[in-house]
Amino acid sequence: MDDGVASALAAFGARTQDVDAARMQAAPAAFEVYAENWDAVQLFEALSTQWRAVAFGTMASARIVHMGLDYAAIEPVARLIGIGKRRRPAVFQQLRVMEDAALAVLLAEVS
């Protein structure tokens, strides 16, 4: 979340604590990505809506557990964003490392 969102909340009369909480959630500073990882980062971002998830619920509560990326979407998306056929196996391995790290965070949020 950027400072613009927090400012908009303030302009629309949000409570001070909500505006402060929004400012605390500001996007982290920019970071560098090594050139050899750039394709994997782009692919991971392009697949951000392709997570497989399972919903569990009772009358008292509900939760969603992320299982991993939809692997059927990976190759077509890689093609569409211009990752060459020869490079795809290496990028796939990098993507799996990113997926594993993301799942560790997502599953920790459920616990």
Helix (H) or strand (E) holding 20: helix 16-24
Structural domain range at position 5: 1-31
pLDDT tens, 30-76? 889 999 999 999 999 999 999 999 998 888 888 888 999 999 999 99
The answer, as to whether pTM is greater than 0.75, is no
Coil, strand or helix at 1:
coil
Instruction: Please check whether residues 51 and 76 belong to one and the same domain.
Output: yes
- How many domains, in total, are found in the chain? 2
Mean pLDDT (whole number) for 82-95: 97
Helix (H) or strand (E) holding 63: strand 62-69
Mean pLDDT (whole number) for 1-8: 71
pLDDT at 70: 97
Instruction: Please check whether residues 53 and 102 belong to one and the same domain.
Output: yes
Instruction: Please check whether residues 70 and 96 belong to one and the same domain.
Output: yes
| CA max distance for the chain | 54
Instruction: Please check whether residues 8 and 50 belong to one and the same domain.
Output: no
CB-based contact 37:94 (threshold 8 Å)? yes
